[in-house]
Amino acid sequence: MVKDVNNVLSGFGTTVFEVMSKLAIEHKAINLGQGFPDVDGAEDIRAVAAKEIMEESNQYPPMMGTQKLRRAVADHNHRFYGIAVDPDTDILVTSGATEALADCLMSLINPGDEVILFEPLYDCYQPLVLRAGGIPKYVRLDPPHWHLDEDRLRAAFSDKTKLVLLNTPMNPTGKVFTADELQMIAAATIEHDAYAVCDEVYEHIIFGLARHIPLATLPGMGSRTLRIGSAGKTFSLTGWKVGYITGCTELIAKVAKAHQFITFTTPPALQNAVAYGLDRDDEFYERLQLDMQSKRNYIKYGLESAGFETADCDGTYFMNVDIRSVGFEGSDEEFCRLITTEAGVAAVPVSAFYMSENPESHFARFCFCKREEVLKEAVEKLSDFFSKK
């Protein structure tokens, strides 16, 4: 008998996302559970990648990322947030935000260090923190407004806090942290001499009056913050897995130690095509925002007219609804199974994004980065189903 494999990761079973996706296929349901667009990213960006593959080198690019992409990420930081960084030393290109998160957590955490996580949280955070030997400390945000409570935040910090892992705009809540909330987080992080790792993959998918403020721009945070972006969400190219980390020279050098042993590099053609994408004019970013906002509005008013109360959503691809508002008294998982098999629309239960005891279990998450005709059909199916109940 061979010995046991690592028991941290093997302890995680099949995710509810896979279960729901399988169920959606079996029942030919519209899948609003999965978080990716149903149309491909811009043709000109893809054309640059194709040309690069045929005409440029396909061998290992520089470990820190191609010069073109590092320059474009540095310019992007400056153009949108006034962050001034050196493309040669302060940017690291990774294979998606997921690798960026793994690099940051592996290079910062020593076994026994505490890590502040905001709950509900994106699914890879807890396994990566645990595998690095960190101890998660959860700060819960409550639906439907997802406000950050200062007492809860303060209670999670201790002299063992190594870092805070912040996701804004936030999956699965659709929350965009406000200037006051960011100020609270910055103050506690500085007081405890901790770091911040900021997952900002939805930085350009933001609605109405909400503004994305990188934590790194707050006074005292620049030298202790690693800011993560990804081409997947900004350009609807989730399969490319091109991510980038911005931070001060000393921190990026430390994170590069993890990157060199995890993936070392990312396909050069994709990097250079993303550089081309990041350089696109303001109109591109404005259109992305307006397009996603119109989908958000469509699903919000559609679900509300089908009888649902919706939670606040100022950014990302995700809209959450209170399942009790249509008279459903079971769990969110039961609800998602029911609508997948009976109404023909799949969503995911928000309880799957909680790792601590007593998860919130009355909300379901719908992903709206889909074509309008798909959203229309989904809303009609849900309206029909619940009007007959």
Q: Using the rule CB under 6 A, which residue among 118, 122, 146, 157 binds ligand PLP?
A: 122
What binding mask, one character per residue, do residues 18-37 give for ligand PLP by CB under 6 A, x or -?
A: -----------------x--
Task: Give yes or no for residue 171 binding ligand PLP (CB under 6 A).
Answer: yes
**Of the candidates 67, 348, 345, 109, which has an alpha carbon nearest to the alpha carbon of residue 226?**
109
Distance separating alpha carbons of residues 48 and 65, to the nearest angstrom: 17
Q: Which stretch binds ligand PLP (CB under 6 A): 37-45, 96-104, 253-261, 326-334?
A: 96-104
In sequence order, what are the beta bridge partners of 165? 117, 197
Q: Which stretch binds ligand PLP (CB under 6 A): 25-33, 52-60, 91-99, 177-185?
A: 91-99
Question: In angstroms, rounded to a whole number, what is the distance separating the alpha carbons of residues 313 and 320?
Answer: 8
Residue written as tokens 């921190």?
251
Stretch of 95-103, 155-163, 361-369, 381-389 lying at the interface with ligand PLP (CB under 6 A): 95-103
How far is the C-alpha of 377 from the C-alpha of 200, rounded, in Å? 31
Say how many C-beta atoms besides its own lie within 10 A of residue 15's C-beta: 12
Residue type, 179: A
Specify the stretch interacting with ligand PLP by CB under 6 A; choose among 12-20, 62-70, 237-245, 295-303. 237-245
Supply the minimum distance, in Å, between the C-beta of residue 353 and ligand PLP: 10
CB burial class (10 A; 0-12, 13-18, 19+) of residue 307? middle
Of the candidates 166, 43, 159, which has an alpha carbon nearest to the alpha carbon of residue 112?
A: 159
Pick 15 or 305: Cβ nearer ligand PLP: 15
Among 34, 189, 230, 266, binds ligand PLP (CB under 6 A): 230
For residue 296, the tally of other CB atoms under 10 A from its CB is 25
Q: Per CB under 6 A, does 167 bind ligand PLP? A: yes
Binding of ligand PLP by 236 (CB under 6 A): no
Q: Name the pairing type of β-strands 318-322 and 135-140.
A: unpaired
* Closer to ligand PLP by Cβ: residue 236 or 326: 236
In the bound state with ligand PLP, the residue whose beta carbon lies nearer, of 189 and 238, is: 238
Query: Does residue 162 sit in helix, strand or coil?
Result: strand
CB closer to ligand PLP out of 172 and 222: 172
Give me the least distance between CB of 244 and ligand PLP, in Å please.
10
Residue 199 is a binding residue for ligand PLP (CB under 6 A): yes
What is the phi/psi pair of residue 363, to 5°? Answer: -130, 145
Least Cα distance to 118 among 180, 231, 199 occurs for 199
**Tokens (6 digits) for 118:** 């905001």
Binding-residue total with ligand PLP (CB under 6 A): 14
Q: What is the closest distance, in whole angstroms, from the C-beta atom of residue 169 to ligand PLP in the complex? A: 8
Query: Out of 174, 232, 247, 268, which residue is the one contacting ligand PLP (CB under 6 A)?
Result: 232
CA-based torsion, 45, 50, 51, 57: positive or negative? positive
Residues near ligand PLP, by CB under 6 A: 35, 96-98, 122, 167, 171, 199, 201, 230, 232, 238, 241, 243
